[in-house]
Amino acid sequence: IVPQGQVPAVVQPTEVPEAVLPGAEEYIEIGRGAAGEAFTVDWLRSNGFIIVERNWRYEHYEVDIIATRRGVMHFVEVKTRALGSIESAFEAINTTKRTALLHAMRAYTRRTRWASDVQVDLAAVEACLDGSFIMHYTPGIMGGDAGD
């Protein structure tokens, strides 16, 4: 849980579940970023998550995917990179992005009156040259409280 007004630091994963989807040609047609999000939605669904929102916007904030599982609301940030990209997905979650995610998370929970646990997860998706994806899903890169 992150106290109000504080921005948590990025947590490097110790164990990262990995998903690979070979032959993902249907994803490639929609562009790398959207393909990474579509792949992540499919993976989340296959792992028991219920997708609540996609590309939810509030003012100038955006959350890629909002999903629930086991009474927890997950705000999933998807970062899709080409395999071997110089900047990692973790490096892209800088202080500005963490602050934006925190504001969006609080705005969404206020609007929906969600009072249970919330967290921000990272789906780091690598797009391979053969059309497959490799995803490293890291739950809980940020926690948060539902209220202000």
pLDDT at position 60 is 85
From CA 13, how far away is CA 112, in angstroms rounded? Answer: 30
Tokens 């009156």 map to which residue?
Answer: 113
pTM: 0.75
Q: What distance, in Å, lies between the first and last C-alpha atoms of the chain?
A: 12
pLDDT at position 6 is 37
Confidence bin at 19 (pLDDT 50/70/90) = low
pLDDT at position 66 is 97
pLDDT tens across 70-93, in order?
A: 999 999 999 888 877 656 766 777
**3-class DSSP assignment, residue 29:** coil
